[in-house]
Amino acid sequence: MSMGDGGDSPADKRPTWVKPLMEWAAVETAKARLAGPIDHVPAEIGGLPLSNVGRQLYAWWLEARGEKPMPSAGEVSLRALVELLPYIRYLSWEDEKTLVFRIYGSALVEGSGFDLTGYNVFGPDEHAEAAIDRARLRALHAQPCGIVMIRDVYDRSGKAYACEFMTLPIAPDDDGRERIIGTVIPCEQIAEWNVDVVFDRIQTLHRATFIDIGFGVPDRALGLGK
């Protein structure tokens, strides 16, 4: 992941206001607005070091849930998450198989070239691993836990870029719909995200680790033992 060489890169086409959000300095310094310190929040999960943004989201989530298994949708504070919002994806289970983006952060929009708000994660044409991906995310509510996944995203040339996907469960409000909240951050330190992402191939999973939030974690399965 590096800066482009000329004037025809994704970075050259993006609005001025969003450019600072795509720089590594912003990723490393963004903070959740918390009432207390984050010293108790682990810097790694299952041997996977957490990005600053991923750890900040986890710190907010732990504070927001208090003594409950997880925070509810009504406790998701955009004010507390304002610095993290560019890197956040917030999704709602519309039914047993449909998981829809409700918030897709501005940095993710610029980084991917698409605004996925309103789209189903699994799409109309499910690939062979969709059922496994769905089961992983369903497990976050079935046995309350979080998950960190390292997945590749690809550019138009087919080059892979490993990214951290931090994902945590959110309890439903009156509408009864369970939700998940998470972040996406490149694993490798970069000057600026300047990659033309494509979604025409499966995002290869390299590693996935459930986060024990006090209720244990599901059995090693679904590719999680990697």
> Predicted confidence band at 220 (pLDDT cuts at 50, 70, 90)?
low
Note whether 78 and 90 are within 8 A (CB): no
* pLDDT of 10 higher than 50: no
Q: Across the chain, what does the average pLDDT equal?
A: 85
Q: Is residue 84 part of a domain?
A: yes
**Which contacts (CB < 8 Å, 24+ apart) does range 124-129 have?**
127/202, 129/202, 129/205
Q: Is residue 144 part of a domain?
A: yes
Supply the pLDDT for residue 221: 58
**CA dist., res. 130 & res. 34, Å (int):** 35
* pLDDT of 95 higher than 90: yes
Average of per-residue pLDDT across 23-35: 92
Q: Is residue 189 part of a domain?
A: yes
Between 111 and 170, the more confident residue is 170
Q: Is residue 223 part of a domain?
A: no
Q: Is residue 128 part of a domain?
A: yes
Give how many domains the chain has, as a whole number: 1
Q: Is residue 224 part of a domain?
A: no
Supply the pLDDT for residue 199: 66
Between 5 and 99, the more confident residue is 99
Q: Is residue 217 part of a domain?
A: no
50-74 tens-digit pLDDT: 999 999 999 999 999 999 999 999 9
pTM of the model: 0.87
Domain extent, residue 58, equals 10-212
CATH number of the domain where residue 17 is located:
3.30.450.20
Supply the pLDDT for residue 2: 29
Q: Is residue 4 part of a domain?
A: no
Supply the pLDDT for residue 7: 43
CB count within 10 Å of CB 144 equals 21
